[in-house]
């Protein structure tokens, strides 16, 4: 039986917006296809994880307080994480985690929280604490050339992210990386970094399958055709929401 | 000038009544437009008791009102649950004389968490009860911590009675907001039979609010409610005013200081609410017999743990507007050993919050193992909830998403199995109506 291993970073701290659902979706879609899915947790005070030994590394969004506590911890693994990214381990990074992997996060008072500096983007808090990009969001995403797909999620962020260069998608509805932006997130073949909650994969099974396929092909060195699953709930859910938002 | 406003407001109220409208917030909204300091107009000469929390405000407020009324007092209260400044103003206008006098022995209010400072900088508060803080509609309310800090700031200069849940680390911390206030009353509930050693549901109280150390729990009752302590600074060691012992959910009873209280509900979270009410009643020296009598009869028939019979089929309806609300309902369903079916109605209207990702914080695991045989979903997000439940491992073939509530109700009562109904905020009353139609 084929197996994929997932490393879940700070499950007890980055858990505010139901992002853990992404892992449940991945696990579900693997197990339906008889692929075993093993999830290991890492949090503060745990033994150093071997990032390169995993197929997928996942981290979600958290409360401000928790996020500042763990930023100091995460930075210890900067080199290990950089190496894993270069080796092709898949990284799925949502919201706060998306920000942490960039150059820095500049707070309202101008304080700088250094990021892992793995990707070129940086984030700045908006001066008015009450102003946030909040709402449903729809993107057009092209994970593979010539195969665009719509991605549905929910954004809720005060941080404005700039210098994305290689965005995850084009904004069809909602804000994106900053207020009224044309683009959202950051994407390179083995990294999806985005503000999208929902959780992201729950309404976008095509993204979940892209990740699974990528990881299996990388790990087993063969071409993989994933077996189709019954996605009738997902299909109807998408139809309903797209119809409502993209009138 | 205010007296003219009062005449106007009361006239509008009479007109609304003629049209069968409650005018829950409307009167208050107009009042604020007329005079933004309208709250200051009212002359209150009786104790004002307020309850705030994420979950349990309406039930607790009504239970306080009911108990005081059982003891023979005249009580003014926003019993319908209009808990923002406008709702409180409406209640006052309706119950005041034209000169703003309120004739009552007690006033009890439920107040939205974020409105506590605003309302009670004007109205003198005698007792504040804080039940719990959970994550709730993040897109509307922001993080829980922001709300807690707001109330904490208000409490720094507050000198009235403060009744606090000692088993919620987010609530108990408020007892330290004003070191000069000695009138802090902590209540808690002894470990009940389904308490666990680990957290089973999403919760907030992970780190000590004072020294940021990870809190240690002896047990969890539900979510992050339980016996906690900070291993570094000992936060959590509080002098307890009232403690519930021998909680028996099957018998629907608990004991405090040797007195047995029978209640109508059978859920752990409502025991906490009863303890809050009991603490308040003891502060005001209400007779124990009146409390016993009131508790044994109190039941809020508005979709808060409402037990009804539809076509002879027992049905339990409960509101769930956030993960904890849904989790306590599912806890009840899992603790029930009979076979059952579930209807889950999920809306994403303004009052619900547009973000439905909170359903992924609901503990849907093991529903089939706990004898749930079929699940119907409905609401504007019927497919989101269907996907969520499917992903938890429940057989997708036994999940039936329905386009509208009438269809969902019909589908639900095709079988004779016992029913559980969970609905979020704007879904609750329409769901009740759809179900009650089948009663006729």
pLDDT of residue A2: 97
Q: Which residue has the higher pLDDT, A122 or B8?
A: A122
pLDDT in tens, B93-145: 999 999 999 999 999 999 999 999 999 999 999 999 999 999 888 887 778 88
Residue B22 has pLDDT above 80, yes or no: no
Instruction: Name every chain B residue with its beta carbon within 8 A of the beta carbon of A13.
Output: 206
Q: A197–B355: do the CB atoms touch at under 8 Å?
A: yes
Mean pLDDT of A95-114: 91
Q: List Cβ<8 Å contacts ≥24 apart for B154-161.
A: B154/B116, B154/B117, B154/B120, B154/B121, B155/B128, B155/B181, B158/B120, B158/B125, B158/B128, B159/B183, B160/B125, B160/B126, B160/B127, B160/B128, B161/B126, B161/B127, B161/B128, B161/B185, B161/B280, B161/B283
- Residue in A37, A133, A197, A215 annotated catalytic: A197
Orientation angle between helical segments B288-297 and B57-70, nearest 10 degrees: 130
Residue B23 banded pLDDT, cuts 50, 70, 90:
low
Q: Is the peptide bond before A199 cis (omega within 30 degrees of 0)?
A: yes
Q: How far is CA A150 from CA A5, A238, B376, in A?
A: 27, 9, 28
Give B21's pLDDT tier (boundaries 50, 70, 90): confident
B392 contacts chain A (CB < 8 A):
yes
Position A128 pLDDT exceeds 90 = no
Q: Nearest 10 degrees: CA dihedral of B178, B183, B184, B185?
A: -170
Architecture of domain B2-297: 3-Layer(aba) Sandwich (3.40)
Average pLDDT over residues B86-98: 94
What does the H/E/C string look like for A52-104? HHCCEEEECCCCHHHHHHHHHHHHHHHHHHHHHHHHCCEEEEECHHHHHCCCE
For tokens 């609304």, name the residue. B16
**Which structure tokens are listed for B49?**
């008791």
Whether residue B359 and residue A234 make contact (CB cut-off 8 A), yes or no, is no
A95 in active site: yes
Q: Which residues pair with B196 in a beta bridge?
A: B220
Q: Is the pLDDT of residue B329 over 80?
A: yes
Task: With beta carbons under 8 A apart, name residues in chain B contacting A230.
Answer: 396
Of A12, A17, A233, the CB nearest to B206: A12
Q: Which domain holds residue A53?
A: 3-221+228-245
Angle B38-B43-B44 (CA atoms, 0-180°, nearest 5)?
A: 115
Residue B242: alpha-carbon gap to chain centroid:
20
How far apart, in Å, are the Cα atoms of B98 and each of B4, B43, B196? Answer: 8, 11, 55
Provide the CA A140 distance to its chain's centre, in angstroms.
Answer: 16
- The pLDDT assigned to B200 comes to 79
Q: What CATH fold (topology level) applies to the domain B306-437?
A: 3.90.190
Q: CB distance from B79 to chain A under 8 Å?
A: no
**B232 at A interface, C-beta within 8 A:** no
Please name the member of B357, B383, B399 whose beta carbon is closest to the beta carbon of A236: B383
Give the best residue of B383, B386, B395 to mutate against chain A (max A CB count within 10 A).
B383
Confidence band, pLDDT 50/70/90 cuts, at residue B227:
very high
Using CA atoms, how far apart are residues B370 and B86, in angstroms rounded to an integer?
43
Taking CA B430 as the corner, what is the angle to CA B429 and CA B434, rounded to the nearest 5 degrees?
A: 115
Interchain CB distance below 8 Å, B357 and A18: yes
- pLDDT tens digits for B174-195? 999 999 999 999 999 999 999 9
Residues of chain B with CATH 3.40.1190.10: 2-297
Q: Please pick, among A95, A133, A183, A215, the residue that the annotation labels catalytic.
A: A95
Per-residue pLDDT tens digits for A146-174: 999 999 999 999 999 998 889 999 999 99
List, in sequence order, the alpha helices (H) in B39-114.
57-70, 85-95
Bin B167: left if φ > 0, else alpha if -120 < ψ < 50, else beta. alpha
Name the CA radius of gyration of chain B, rounded: 22
Cα torsion through A51, A53, A59, A64, rounded to 10: -20
CA B97 to CA B291: how far, in whole Å?
Answer: 31
Min Cα separation A63/chain B (Å): 7
pLDDT of residue B142: 78
The SS3 of residue B235 is: coil
Question: Quick one: average pLDDT of B199-203?
Answer: 79
Helix axes B2-18, B85-95, angle to 10 degrees: 90
What span, in angstroms and rounded, lies between the C-alpha atoms of B14 and A64? 48
List A193's β-bridge partners, or say none: A93, A186
| Residues B357, A135: C-beta atoms closer than 8 Å | no
How many residues make up chain A in this entry?
247
- Cβ-Cβ contacts under 8 Å between A and B: the total is 82
Average pLDDT over residues A90-104: 96
Residue A29's H or E segment, with its range, is helix A21-31
Counting the structural domains of chain A, the total is 1
CA distance B399 to chain A (A): 10
Q: How confident is the model at residue B207 (pLDDT cuts 50, 70, 90)?
A: confident
Task: Kindly state the helix (H) or strand (E) to which residue B2 belongs, with its residue range.
Answer: helix B2-18
Asked if residue B439 has pLDDT above 90, the reply is no
Query: pLDDT digits over B273-286, tens only?
Result: 999 999 999 999 99
Assign residue A132 the CATH number of its domain.
3.40.50.880
Cα separation of B33 and B53, whole Å?
28
% of chain B with per-residue pLDDT over 90? 83
CB contact under 8 A, B360 and A18: yes
pLDDT band at A45 (very low <50, low <70, confident <90, very high): confident
Name residue B162's beta-bridge partners: B128, B184
**Chain A nearest CA to B225, separation (Å):** 16
Nearest CA-CA distance, residue A10 and chain B, Å: 13
Q: Which of B210-214, B228-232, B415-419 has the lowest mean pLDDT?
A: B210-214
How far apart are alpha carbons A215 and A89 in whole angstroms? 8
Say if the Cβ atoms of B202 and A63 lie within 8 Å. Answer: no
Q: Helices B405-412 and B425-437, interaxial angle, to 10°? A: 60
- Binned at pLDDT 50, 70 and 90, residue A69 comes out as confident
Chain A residues within 8 Å of chain B (Cβ atoms): 12-13, 15-21, 24-25, 28, 63-66, 69, 134-136, 154, 156, 197-199, 202-203, 230, 233-234, 236-237, 240
| Contact status, residue A161 vs residue A99, Cβ threshold 8 Å | yes
Measured between beta carbons, the chain B residues lying within 8 angstroms of A63 are 143-145
User: Going by DSSP bridges, is the β-strand pair B127-130/B48-52 parallel, antiparallel, or unpaired?
Assistant: parallel
Look up residue B341 and give its two tokens: 């079916």
- CA B354 to CA A243: how far, in whole Å? 16
Q: B99 touching A, CB under 8 A?
A: no
Nearest to B51 by CA among B113, B117, B122: B113
> Beta strands B313-319 and B225-229: pairing type?
unpaired
Taking the CA atoms of B363, B368, B372 and B374 in sequence, report the sign of the dihedral they define.
positive
Q: Where in chain B is the domain with CATH 3.90.190.20?
A: 306-437
Nearest to B139 among A19, A21, A134 (CB): A134
Annotated catalytic, A237? no
The radius of gyration of chain A's CA atoms, rounded to the nearest angstrom, is 17
Least confident span in B36-50, B130-144, B322-336: B130-144
Selected residues 134-153 of chain B with any CB under 8 Å from a CB in chain A: 135, 138-139, 143-145
pLDDT band at A5 (very low <50, low <70, confident <90, very high): very high
> In this structure, what DSSP letter does residue B223 have?
T
Chain-chain contact of B360 with A236 (C-beta, under 8 angstroms): no
Packing angle of the helix pair B268-283, B288-297 (nearest 10 deg): 150
Instruction: Give tens-digit pLDDT for B243-257.
Output: 999 999 999 999 999
Tokens of A188: 């390179």
Q: Kindly determine whether residue A17 and residue B145, on different chains, have CB atoms separated by under 8 Å.
A: no
As a whole number of angstroms, the distance between CA B370 and CA B339 comes to 8
């Amino acid at each position: 039986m084929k197996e994929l291993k997932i490393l879940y970073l700070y499950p007890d701290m980055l858990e505010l917006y139901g992002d853990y659902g992404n892992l449940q979706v991945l696990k579900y879609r693997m197990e339906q296809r008889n692929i075993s899915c093993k999830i290991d947790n890492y949090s503060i005070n745990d033994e150093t994880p071997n990032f390169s030994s995993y197929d997928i590394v996942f981290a979600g969004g958290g409360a401000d307080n928790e996020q500042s506590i763990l930023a100091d911890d995460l930075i210890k693994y900067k080199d290990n994480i950089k190496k894993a990214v270069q080796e092709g381990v898949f990284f799925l990074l949502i919201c706060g985690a998306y920000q942490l992997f960039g150059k820095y996060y500049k707070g309202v008072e101008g304080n700088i929280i250094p990021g892992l500096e793995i990707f070129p983007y940086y984030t700045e808090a908006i001066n008015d604490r009450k102003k946030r990009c909040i709402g449903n969001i729809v993107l057009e995403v092209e994970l593979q050339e010539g195969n665009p797909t719509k991605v549905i999620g929910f954004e809720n962020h005060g941080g404005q992210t700039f210098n994305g260069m290689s965005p995850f998608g084009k904004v069809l509805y909602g804000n994106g990386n900053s207020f009224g932006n044309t683009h959202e997130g950051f994407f390179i073949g083995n990294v999806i970094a985005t503000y999208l909650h929902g959780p992201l994969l729950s309404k976008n099974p095509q993204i979940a399958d892209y990740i699974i396929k990528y990881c299996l092909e990388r790990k087993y060195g063969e071409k993989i055709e994933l077996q189709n699953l019954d996605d009738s709930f997902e299909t109807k859910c998408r139809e309903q929401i797209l119809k409502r938002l993209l009138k | 000038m205010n007296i003219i406003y009062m005449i106007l407001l009361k006239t509008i109220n009479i007109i609304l009544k003629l049209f069968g409208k409650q005018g829950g917030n409307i009167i208050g909204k107009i009042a604020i437009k007329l005079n933004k300091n309208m709250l200051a107009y009212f002359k209150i000469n009786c104790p004002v008791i307020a309850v705030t929390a994420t979950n349990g405000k309406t039930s607790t407020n009504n239970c306080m009102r009911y108990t005081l009324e059982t003891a023979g007092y005249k009580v003014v209260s926003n019993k319908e649950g209009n808990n923002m400044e406008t709702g409180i103003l409406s209640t006052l206008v309706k119950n005041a004389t034209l000169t703003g006098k309120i004739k009552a022995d007690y006033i009890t209010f439920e107040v939205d968490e974020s409105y506590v400072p605003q309302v009670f900088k004007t109205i003198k508060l005698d007792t504040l009860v804080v039940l719990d803080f959970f994550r709730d509609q993040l897109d509307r309310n922001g993080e829980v911590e922001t709300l807690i800090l707001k109330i904490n700031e208000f409490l720094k200069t507050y000198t009235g009675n403060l009744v606090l849940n000692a088993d919620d680390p987010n609530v108990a911390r408020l007892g330290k907001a004003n070191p000069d206030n000695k009138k802090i009353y902590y209540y808690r509930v002894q470990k009940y039979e389904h308490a666990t050693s680990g957290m089973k549901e999403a919760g907030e109280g992970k780190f000590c609010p004072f020294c940021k150390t990870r809190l240690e729990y002896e047990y969890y009752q539900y979510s992050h409610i339980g016996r906690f302590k900070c291993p570094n600074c000992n936060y959590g060691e509080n002098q307890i005013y009232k403690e519930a012992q021998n909680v028996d959910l099957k018998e629907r009873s608990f004991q405090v200081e040797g007195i047995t209280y029978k209640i109508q509900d059978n859920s752990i979270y409502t025991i906490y609410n009863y303890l809050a009410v009991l603490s308040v009643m003891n502060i005001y020296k209400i007779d124990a017999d009146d409390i016993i009598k009131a508790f044994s009869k109190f039941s809020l028939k508005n979709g808060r743990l409402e037990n009804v019979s539809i076509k002879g089929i027992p049905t339990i309806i409960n509101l769930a507007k956030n993960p904890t609300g849904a989790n306590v309902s599912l806890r009840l369903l899992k603790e029930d050993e009979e076979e059952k079916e579930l209807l889950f109605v999920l809306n994403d209207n303004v009052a619900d919050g547009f973000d439905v990702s909170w359903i992924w914080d609901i503990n849907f695991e093991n529903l089939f193992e706990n004898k749930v045989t079929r699940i119907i979903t409905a609401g504007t997000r019927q497919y989101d909830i269907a996907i969520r439940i499917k992903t938890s491992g429940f057989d997708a073939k036994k999940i039936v998403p329905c386009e509208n509530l009438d269809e969902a109700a019909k589908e639900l009562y095709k079988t004779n199995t016992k029913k559980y109904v969970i609905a979020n905020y704007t879904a609750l009353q329409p769901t009740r109506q759809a179900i009650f139609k089948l009663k006729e």
